[in-house]
Amino acid sequence: MDIYAFLERHGIPYRRYDHEAVYTCEQADRLAIPPGPARTKNLFLRDRKARRHILLSVGADKNVDIKALEEVLDARGLSFASPERLREILGIEPGSVTILAVLNDAEGRVEVVVDEDLWTREALLCHPLVNTSTLVISRQDVKRFLDLTGHTPRIVGVPVRVCRCG
């Protein structure tokens, strides 16, 4: 489905920034996007038996403790979903994971989980299903987008991995 047509049809405003392909948060940090909106990191996870698929959105600087997240979400054996599963379920390529990808999840197989710290921000940076553009969308409009796609976000305190250095 065309993300821009969906946003236009539902009156969801956005600001668009086109750029070279980015695959990491570090690369995205170097883009010429004005400060203000929350930079995001999105992880597509599955449980051990591949019965649950979770799209996790957190602030770009958050170092997620996936083992501790299992307890928060009551999920066992969380790991990154394969590129093939990403294509099959969300219709996107690695490097383009975004909360907006649930647009392609018509079957409702994906749970959307958002970190509570991120959900306090006024606007979010989101890839529009490709990693060569970034959209700025208000949190309220992201919520409306999720509602329209049938994906009520679960807002949780995402645990962070603590460095036990030195």
pTM higher than 0.85, yes or no? yes
Interatomic CA distance for residues 123 and 12, integer angstroms: 13
Interatomic CA distance for residues 70 and 62, integer angstroms: 16
pLDDT in tens, 19-51: 888 877 777 777 777 788 999 999 999 999 999
Tell me the three state secondary structure of residue 136.
Answer: strand
pLDDT in tens, 112-136: 999 999 999 999 999 999 999 999 9
Structural domains present in the chain: 3-156 (3.90.960.10)
